[in-house]
Amino acid sequence: MTETQDIVIIGGGPGGYVAAIHAARLGATVTLVEKADVGGTCLNWGCIPTKSLLASADILSHLSEAKDFGVSVQGYTFDLSQAMSRKDGVVRQLRSGVESLFVANGVRLVRGSGDIVAPGQVKVTNGQEEIISARNIVIATGSVPATLPIPGLDAEGVINSNQAVALKSLPKRLLIIGGGAIGVEFGDMFNRFGSQVTIVELMDRLIPMEDADLSQVLQRSFRRRSITQHLGSSVKEVRTEGGEKVVTVLQPKDKQQEVRADLVLVGVGRVPNTRGLSLDKIGIRVERGRIIVDERMRTSVPGIYAIGDVVGKMMLAHVASHEGMVAVENALGREATMDYKAVPRCIYTRPEIAGVGLTEAMAREQGRDLTVGRFPFSANGKALGIGERDGFVKVIADKEYGEILGIAIAGPHATELIAEAALAISMEGTVEDVAQAIHAHPTLSEVSMEAALDVNGQAIHIAPRKARSA
Active site residues: 441
Q: Return d(Cα 57, Cα 80) in angstroms, integer.
A: 10
Cα–chain center distance at 248 = 29
The closest of 344, 342, 332, 311 to 19, measured between CA atoms, is: 332
Q: Return d(Cα 244, Cα 264) in angstroms, integer.
A: 10
Side by side, the strands of the sheet bearing 404-411 are 345-347, 352-357, 404-411, 392-398, 370-376
Taking each helix axis as running N to C, give the angle between helix 16-25 and helix 317-331, from 0 to 180 degrees, rounded to the nearest 10.
40
Extract long-range pairs of 435-444: CB within 8 Å, 24+ residues apart: 441/381, 442/380, 442/381, 442/382, 442/385, 443/382, 444/377, 444/380, 444/382, 444/383, 444/411, 444/412, 444/413, 444/417
